[in-house]
Amino acid sequence: MPYAGLHLLLRKHLGRIDALPEAQARALRGVLNLGAGDRHGDRFLVGLAVLTLFSDLAEERPLLCLIDDAHWLDDATVEVLLFVARRLEAEPIAMLLAVRDPDAPELITRGLPELWLRGLDEQAATELLADRPAELPAHVRSEVLVTAMGNPLALLELPTESTSSRPSTTYTRLQRAFAERIAALPELTRLLLLIAASDDQGDLSMILSAAERLGASVADLEPAERERLVRTGEGRLEFRHPLVRTAVYEEATLSRRLTVHNALAEAYRAAGDQCHFAWHLASATTGPDEKAAAVLEETAELDRAGGGHASVAAMYERAAALSPDPAERGRRLSVAAAAAADAGMPERAMSLAERATADVTDPLGRADLVLLRAGLADEQDRMKEAHRLLIDTAESVIGLDPRTAGYLFFQAGSAAANAGDRELLDRTATRAEELGAPNAALVRALARAFTGLNAGGSGDTADGITALRELMGGLNECAGPRDAVRTVMWHLMIGDLDGGLDAAVELERRYRSEGALGLLSLVLMPLARLQLILGHTRDALTTATEGMRVAADTGQHRIRIYQATTLAQLAAMRGDEQRCEELTAEALARGLPPSNVHAATALSLLDLALGRHEAAFNRLAGVVAGTRRAGVTAALPDLIEAAVRLGRPERAREAARWHQGWAEQVGHPWARAITARCAALLAPDDTAGDLFEEAVRLHLRGGPPFEHARTELLYGEWLRRSRRRNEARGHLRAALEIFERLGAEPWSERTRAELRAAGESLADGADDRPDVLALLTPQELQVVRLAAAGLSNREIGAQLFLSPRTVGYHLYKAYPKLGVASRGELARLELSAS
């Protein structure tokens, strides 16, 4: 059951839920089925609620949270606990989650410390074995030591009379040992143990309710308790070790197990527990059973409302296995696959979807299944496979449901674009037009945009920009739930930086207020990139850092890698070579655009700053030649500068022509300024000066400050070489001021060197006035800005997915750095975007 483990963990503290912020309380009440709550609560908002509750408990005294056998918990509970664990910073809270080695990879523990427990060494094992009450012969002691392999339980429990057998593993030997002890128990005790082993709740009242139906009672537990095989307390019955439970269940006959599951099903139905009634009813069947399958399906839909996607997947998969009708089996497997995808289990989802394909014969039903399979294939970088699935299905349903076919055609075109295959995208648009698909014009617009904005092609740039604007204005029935973020990326592609930033900020506010962490991760991706381009470097650092953390929480690896390249670009600007290389390694190894393009651009920018022009040229030339998609526009000015420095103007002119065509069509002054700068680098001396002047004049109308500074620097260098030193110094001083404000130290140093060469005396280093905001960490900056706006610690925590105590800790650390002593003083500081 989703969140069943969380309910067990919090059962003593449920009365504290009402003290949580309303949205968090509503989400937690909903998933724990505690009355008035939001059954559709976002799972990350649930995690934030648990984090706040833990923090409240820790205010009274330090809190220790122990989770044994975490791999057996329901997936929803594990997800919440890992979410909380990643956010423990200032709280007096310790969390320990124990898992068995074979199951450990199932837990996504990125960002958490791990300790792998090994067996006891020979000396410790010998000492433990010596504590046994009975003296063991030397040969038996030696065999037990070898067989146990350092396992403490095995050292204590292996029966001496069975050590001569040769088990395959220590665990099978232990299980056999427990089985021998169980076999010696009275029959009704064994029956009661089998009931407990067949259930996953350990609720003593439910176990006894089922036992009474089969003639057993609580008195029959006593022999098992005396043998220390089980323990009871707080209304629960627990096995001393998992292998005891395994031994009890596996030693029982099939007929005995079926009888016990039937008894448990009746007990849970009488108690009104639909979920466990359904599972035990299904476990009591031996073949196809539509009644049990229908009960499982009904129960799965109840769980879906609580966000238990993993549980829904499991129930529908089991219901499919019980379905006598192949059509019903296929439908249920399809639903199971979708739920597994929602639960973040792509491999299982793909397997379920493939199994469903054989039984789903209805074309429209196959269309839904194909959309799921294509989405999974695309996520696993198999874009052409996704395209093939989508296009084939679109053609098969065009006569039955044109609207669905139109949607499939557009998604197929998007898959072709993601694969970087212009010809495939063009064929998709043509086929949509031939069949009269409703959204054929949008598919064609997508193809035109791809062709026109392909720096390595010969398409019509003007038409590409026009097509992209058509897409931004016409995306309607083709739009999925996350396409609002796609339009922000399109703003980037046409150079509409301010419009893109406004749209991204609005989406960010909405997703934070809704607690929609998965969507927040998506929009933080273009937001960080836009902030960086517009010179808000501190904000970009904060946004990209949070974006990486959130993407890791949500398992969105593409987004995490993309955000790493944004941070790499910032590191390159600041001259941090080691950090830049670390942040680009995964994107380059993955080799997929746009992240690999951004990674190469970041490294090339670093090369340019350090005077490694050939390295920059070779890297960028490879990216431009090998990337058949829009996204390399930003790299072209760097390629041009590197080519000019190396005396290869022919390569620079080709790139300059493409950039000029793009800049003229988007029409932004800053884009035309960069084009003029590139033209000046290639022009003879009698015209270069006028081109540089034009570039500087256009930059003054707004746009990326880093590019403005580079233009001022290049113009100053040209003026100095032309022996116009007085003029050069003004442009170089302008460049230095911007570089220093952005923290672009290698570029600042290069500019200082030019100023000295132009005859200006400079003290070493930048302006000595301290930038106090630069002393804050990205998270401290987020917190102080929200605190200055009047938000409480709880309100700040709700926006940043932190506990209130962590918020207070960040404020405590930030105050002395800012020279203030209270929240009231923050309002007097300049904390705006920078």
pLDDT given for residue 765 in this prediction: 47
For the chain, domains (ranges, CATH) are 4-106 (no CATH), 183-281 (no CATH), 550-757 (1.25.40.10), 773-826 (1.10.10.10)
pLDDT single digits (tens) 456-510: 545 688 888 899 888 888 776 556 656 778 888 889 888 999 999 999 999 998 8
Count Cβ neighbours within 10 Å for each residue of 281-290 and write b for 16 or more, e otherwise.
bbbbbeeebe
pLDDT reading at 742 higher than 70: yes
Alpha helices in 495-646 (DSSP H): 497-514, 517-533, 537-554, 557-574, 577-590, 595-609, 613-626, 636-645
Distance spanning both ends of the chain, measured CA to CA: 47
Structure tokens at 567: 């941070």
Q: Is the pLDDT higher at 357 or at 775?
A: 357
Mean pLDDT to the nearest integer, 31-60? 80
Name the least confident of 368-377, 460-469, 654-663.
368-377
pLDDT reading at 303 higher than 70: no
Mean pLDDT to the nearest integer, 598-621? 91
pLDDT single digits (tens) 102-154: 555 556 666 788 888 888 988 998 888 887 766 777 777 777 787 777 888 77
| Three-state DSSP class for residue 609 | helix
pLDDT reading at 769 higher than 60: no
Rounded to the nearest 10°, the torsion over CA 500, 506, 509, 515 is: -90
pLDDT reading at 451 higher than 60: yes
pLDDT given for residue 515 in this prediction: 65
pLDDT reading at 738 higher than 90: yes
Look at residues 674, 735, 732 and name the one whose alpha carbon lies nearest to residue 701: 674
pLDDT given for residue 211 in this prediction: 95
pLDDT given for residue 799 in this prediction: 79
pLDDT reading at 358 higher than 80: yes
pLDDT given for residue 164 in this prediction: 46
In this prediction, residue 167 has a pLDDT band, given cuts at 50, 70 and 90, of: very low
- pLDDT averaged over every residue in the chain: 85
pLDDT given for residue 10 in this prediction: 93
Name the least confident of 385-399, 479-493, 742-756.
479-493
Name the least confident of 489-493, 569-573, 591-595.
591-595
pLDDT given for residue 421 in this prediction: 83
Q: Is the pLDDT higher at 550 or at 97?
A: 97
What is the 8-class DSSP label of residue 454?
-
What would you measure as the largest C-alpha separation in the chain, in angstroms?
106
Mean pLDDT to the nearest integer, 263-269? 95
pLDDT given for residue 376 in this prediction: 76
pLDDT given for residue 484 in this prediction: 79
Mean pLDDT to the nearest integer, 295-311? 75
Interatomic CA distance for residues 805 and 784, integer angstroms: 14
Q: Give the range with max mean pLDDT: 73-82, 343-352, 621-630, 733-742.
A: 733-742
pLDDT single digits (tens) 454-468: 755 456 888 888 998
